[in-house]
Amino acid sequence: MAGARRVVIAVFPDVDLLDVTGPAEVFALANRECGRTAYRVDLAGRQAGPVATSAGVRLLTDLAFGEVTGAIDTLVVPGAVDLGAAGPVARVDPDVVAWVAAVAPSARRVASVCVGAHVLAAAGLLDGKTATTHWSTAAQLAAEHPAVRVDPDPIFVRSGKVWTGAGISACMDLALALVAEDLGEELALAVARQLVVYLKRQGGQSQFSVPLSTPPAGRRDIDTLRMYITEHLGADLSAPALAERMCLSERHFARVFRQETGTTPAAYVEAARVEAARRLLESTDQPLDEVAAGSGLGSVETLHRALRRQIGTTPAAYRRRFRVTA
């Protein structure tokens, strides 16, 4: 264990299970892939012993908060939510906040998972920094902590020694990025292969995908069409072509599509193509004409117009912003 990076993960009642076990699994596989103990993971809670998670599965903490002494390489703070009248509300436990505020300054690196960002913010660790959290509580984080620049789009954000991750499964993306920083991308890629996940998720920074941004349609054929659109962005996706594919008149198709999705076929197709363009802008250095072609938008002029309409920015500005995040 000599020379191992010590990772301490905070655990508390009703914590999201994957927030804890996801990063722990990534670090364990990193050990296996590099053939040595590169990481040692400790779970810390109010007291040592069993803690019930939100999934009902109990975790066994190694140490009480007061027993955590010595150097910490990486402090990981997961999250928990309560269900409010308007939806999920991030839980901010004063005991956890106080402990994180006390130990974080001596840790080499601090990372929050999902709504754990609210704990970091309450501990004063995010003031003046850009941070992300689960999209459902991003507005809460921004309202309660105006000194934090909240960006709900990225999968994770790095601001100095503080990292914040987005929705629950983004804990894997975040942990893989930490491993890549420590041990190199080749080793992190080997871990990603073992997990059967992307080292750099397709979709880059964006938490949202167009097919998932609206609820499933009541008609299965509309859901099937939505997936067809996503997988064939370069095809003829005009309303007449889609109506023909559905074996409906154009007028009836447009009415059914709007009823099921809340938008027009043309607007949906453009949103899907813009999402693909965003992925290319975030994750590649392709020139804009290739981005336009690869996303089905066709021309650079159309790419500019679509991004302006959908997200209010230019391709160059979007790339500058998101290629440097994290």
For every residue of 134-159, DSSP letters joined together read -GGGHHHHHHH-TTSEE-SS-SEEEE
Which helix or strand (DSSP H or E) is residue 97 part of? helix 94-103
pLDDT higher than threshold 60 for residue 212 = no
pLDDT higher than threshold 80 for residue 148 = yes
The residues carrying an active-site annotation are 114
For every residue of 206-261, DSSP letters joined together read ----GGGSSPPPSSHHHHHHHHHHHH-TTS---HHHHHHHHTS-HHHHHHHHHHHH
- What CATH number has the domain spanning 210-324? 1.10.10.60
Mean pLDDT of 134-141: 90
Percent of all residues in the chain with a pLDDT value above 70, rounded to a whole number = 91
Residue 137: count of CB within 10 angstroms of its CB:
23
Of 54, 22, 14, 55, which is closest to residue 41 (Cα–Cα)? Answer: 22
Q: What does the alpha-carbon distance between residue 70 and residue 35 come to, in Å, rounded to a whole number? A: 25
> What are the residue ranges spanned by the domains of the chain?
5-195, 210-324
Q: Are the CB atoms for 75 and 110 separated by under 8 Å?
A: yes
Split at pLDDT 50, 70, 90, the class of 284 is: confident
Q: What does the alpha-carbon distance between residue 30 and residue 59 come to, in Å, rounded to a whole number? A: 22
Token code pair at residue 317: 């500005």
pLDDT of residue 202: 47
Q: Point out the least confidently predicted range of 9-23, 91-105, 193-207, 311-325.
A: 193-207
pLDDT higher than threshold 80 for residue 207 = no
Q: Are the CB atoms for 295 and 233 separated by under 8 Å?
A: yes
Rg of the Cα atoms in the chain? 22
- Planar angle of CA 140, 145, 150, nearest 5 degrees: 70
pLDDT of residue 210: 53
Token code pair at residue 189: 């890629």
Q: Point out the least confidently predicted range of 101-115, 129-143, 205-219, 287-301.
A: 205-219
Q: How do residues 163-172 score in pLDDT, each as one tens digit?
A: 999 888 889 9
The residue to which tokens 């250095």 are assigned: 285
The DSSP code for 262 is S
Please indicate whether residue 266 or residue 311 has the higher confidence score (pLDDT).
Answer: 266
pLDDT of residue 20: 97
Please indicate whether residue 178 or residue 201 has the higher confidence score (pLDDT).
Answer: 178
Q: Residue 239, exposed/middle/buried by CB under 10 A (0-12, 13-18, 19+)?
A: middle
Q: What does the alpha-carbon distance between residue 55 and residue 58 come to, in Å, rounded to a whole number? A: 8
Q: Point out the least confidently predicted range of 152-156, 174-178, 238-242.
A: 152-156
* pLDDT, the chain, mean: 89
Q: How do residues 58-88 score in pLDDT, each as one tens digit?
A: 999 999 999 999 999 999 999 999 988 778 8
pLDDT higher than threshold 60 for residue 204 = no
Mean pLDDT of 133-139: 89
Q: Residue 292, exposed/middle/buried by CB under 10 A (0-12, 13-18, 19+)?
A: buried
Same fold, 5-195 and 210-324: no
Q: How do residues 245-264 score in pLDDT, each as one tens digit?
A: 999 999 999 999 999 888 99
Please write down the long-range contacts of 312-318, taking CB distance under 8 Å and 24 or more positions apart. Answer: 315/277, 315/281, 315/288, 315/291, 316/288, 318/278, 318/281
Q: What does the alpha-carbon distance between residue 42 and residue 58 come to, in Å, rounded to a whole number? A: 15
Question: Taken in order 322, 323, 324, 325, is the CA torsion positive or negative?
Answer: positive
Q: What does the alpha-carbon distance between residue 132 and residue 134 come to, in Å, rounded to a whole number? A: 7
Task: Specify the CATH class of 5-195 in words.
Answer: alpha beta
pLDDT higher than threshold 80 for residue 214 = no
